[in-house]
Amino acid sequence: MSSSVAIAAEDLVKEYEGTRALDGFSVSVDRGEFFGLLGPNGAGKTTFIETLVGLSGPTAGTAAVFGHDVVADRRAVRQRVGLAPQEYNVDRFFPIREVLEHKAGYHGIRHETAQKRADWALDRVGLQEKAGATFKSLSGGMKRRVLLARALVTDPDLLILDEPTAGVDVQLRREIWDVVKDLNDGGMTVLLTTHYIKEAERLCDRVCIMEAGRSVAVDTPAELRRRGTDTYHLGVAGRPPGGALDGIDEVVSVERTDAGLAVEAGRSSGALPAVITALTEAGVTVTDVETEPTSLEDVFVDMTRTDSDRATPARPDEGTGSETDGPDIEVTR
Amino acid sequence: MSLRERAREGRLPNWAVRTLALGRREVLRVVRRPKNTVLPPIVTNALYVTVFGVILGARIGDTAGVPYLQFVIPGLIALGTITQSFQNASFTLFHGRWEEYVESVVASPMGHREQVTAYLLASAVRGLAVGLVIFGLGLVFSEIPVRRPLVAVAALVLVVTLFGSLGIAGGLWADDFDQLTVFNQFLIQPLVFFGGVFYPVSDLPGLVETVSYLNPMVYIVSGVRFGLLGQAEVSPVVSLGVLAGASVVAVAAVLALMARGYGLRD
Ligand SMILES: Nc1ncnc2c1ncn2[C@@H]1O[C@H](COP(=O)(O)OP(=O)(O)O)[C@@H](O)[C@H]1O
Ligand SMILES: [Mg+2]
């Protein structure tokens, strides 16, 4: 049994009447990794997570967490997992501090220790002042933090966060990430699903791009970006004739823009000199060149684009490079 | 080392810590919201006792050889205990599923036996507490004997076990709160009312009396009545036997449902 593996899933299938939420999904997450699951709505991310903690039983396939089978040995799995779910599911009869104490108790933590753990967890997410408040009375961002605190109160080895920053403002999102990053640095394995691709890009050691219940690609954000294309924004004098760049293999698409041309070519393909030469030969002077590298988001959109989408590309507007700290774009599809 | 010694040292086994944590949460929910939980049945029973004890009781005269209030109190205790233990378990599971917070129990290391035990303990606390209050209300107006305390306790413990289990099953099964109301209003309440709470079943005309013995509530009411008054229509062996049999079946069924994750897992 390789103890360096936190999550190992093989050919997971989950069928609901009519839908295959998971359709042969396989993935492997290393211990201590910060791992992201990216995928459009309905890709099966939540279903996968629910399979891990035994809230949903797989139709076929296997999964193990720290070597414990999620079906046969589900109690051992649950002992080591903290889950902050996508949907709010907090007991509203009790103030949040007690909600955390109860959760700790269900994991076998004695009452006095549970109280201390609850205080620690609330403090960790900056909610100690709200300890006596009920969940209902909290703002959206605070509610998300309660879910995180409740996941942490049992001192998990694997922290699973399902869309933990949905509807949370930028400032608060960053605070949440500071906490999680810190825990990850301390050795906690983190599995994250998010719509905010830049978040995944910034935080994750590796990401898995999921589509229709399958894994489309797994790699580091940098490697995945390398699989994408660069776009050259060219300022030109004169009107380039159609088909001038047809001879260059690396060129994926050419579009006329207000300033001139937008040429999309394989990433780091070195196609730029050939493009400029070809345009010059066609009697067009290139006055300005700007290279826009692919973002993970572009790769994501390309990989999860279905055929029907391809006919009418619905790429979200995006002007910022991958390293900029502008507002993240939410991919909702 | 015994459980109690370990508890004193704060070294309860993990399963006990988990079970007590859930049981504690369940009891606290009731205690913190008396207006929604234990006060309504107390008010209702105070009204029953006033009407039967003070207003009607004097006119009805002795029933089955005892003053009417004495006759009716064991039935009211049975009715209150049944309803409260059923409601407690069914509400908590239904509501927890509805608002999905039951997931924090389901996705915890708690085993199905631990969960069932915790829900049953809380239902027992609530059912027995209300039963005790009804007994107290009876004492306000009359002397209520407890001639066979062991039978009374055994009957009531079996009642909360049986109806706590039925409540768990109902809470796991219901998709809609009305279904639980229907179960309570149209099944449990009528059966208890026709189960000899307010009149001796043996006073009924032949066929109706015979049919009445098919009603399981007759055995429950009879068991509690025997425990208090030392006499009842059905012998305590039979009533406790029927109750114990039904409880065993119900607990086994609920354990099986929980183990399968019925109503809790996809
Ligand atoms: N309980 C359920 N019953 C029926 N279909 C479901 C259920 N849960 C999820 N699905 C379906 O499974 C697919 C995957 O859903 P989900 O795992 O929630 O995706 P994601 O989290 O990636 O948005 C969707 O098509 C969804 O409609
Ligand atoms: Mg989801």
What is the predicted ipTM?
Answer: 0.90
Asked if residue B9 belongs to a domain, the reply is: no
pLDDT: which is higher, B19 or A327:
B19
Asked if residue B2 belongs to a domain, the reply is: no
Q: Does B113 touch chain A (CB under 8 A)?
A: no
Asked if residue B7 belongs to a domain, the reply is: no
| pLDDT < 70: residue spans in chain B | 1-10
pLDDT: which is higher, A272 or A10:
A10
> What are the beta bridge partners of residue A260?
A235
> What is the tens place of the pLDDT at every residue in A184-194?
999 999 999 98
Q: Which residues of A touch B101 (CB under 8 A)?
A: 89-92
**Chain-chain contact of A105 with B17 (C-beta, under 8 angstroms):** yes
Asked if residue B4 belongs to a domain, the reply is: no
Q: Which residues of B touch A112 (CB under 8 A)?
A: 10
CA distance A322 to chain B (A): 37
Provide the pLDDT for residue A171: 87
Provide the pLDDT for residue A160: 98
CB A21 within 8 A of CB A57: no
Neighbours of A142 (CB within 10 A): 18
Ligand 1 contact via A294 beta carbon (within 6 Å): no
Q: What is the pTM of this model?
A: 0.84
Asked if residue B29 belongs to a domain, the reply is: no
Provide the pLDDT for residue B127: 97
Average pLDDT, chain A: 85
> What are the beta bridge partners of residue A25?
A12
Asked if residue B26 belongs to a domain, the reply is: no
Q: Report the domain count for chain B.
A: 1
Provide the pLDDT for residue A310: 38
Locate B266 and state its tokens.
Answer: 């996809």
Provide the pLDDT for residue A200: 84
Question: Residue B231 is part of which domain span?
Answer: 34-260
Asked if residue B191 belongs to a domain, the reply is: yes
| Average pLDDT for A120-131 | 95
Q: Which residues of A290-322 are buried (b: 16+ CB within 10 A; e: fewer)?
A: eebbbbbbbbbbbbbbeeeeeeeeeeeebeeeb
Query: Could you tell me how far CA A63 lies from the centroid of its own chain?
Result: 20
The residues placing their C-beta within 5 Å of ligand 2, an ion, are A 45-46, 86
Ligand 1 contact via A42 beta carbon (within 6 Å): yes
User: Chain A interface residues facing chain B, Cβ-Cβ under 8 Å?
Assistant: 14, 16, 50, 53-57, 75-76, 78-79, 81, 83, 85, 87, 89-94, 98, 102-112, 114, 150
Most distant CA pair in chain B, distance: 62
For a substitution probing ligand 1, which of A12, A13, A46 has the most ligand atoms within 8 Å of its CB? A46
Atom 16 of ligand 1, residue of closest alpha carbon: A44
Asked if residue B8 belongs to a domain, the reply is: no
- The interaxial angle of helices B149-173 and B68-98, nearest 10 deg, is 30
**Chain-chain contact of B107 with A109 (C-beta, under 8 angstroms):** no
For a substitution probing ligand 1, which of B103, B175, B266 has the most ligand atoms within 8 Å of its CB? B266
For residue A202, is pLDDT > 90? no
Handedness of CA A207, A209, A214, A216 (dihedral sign): negative
CB A92 within 8 A of CB B32: no
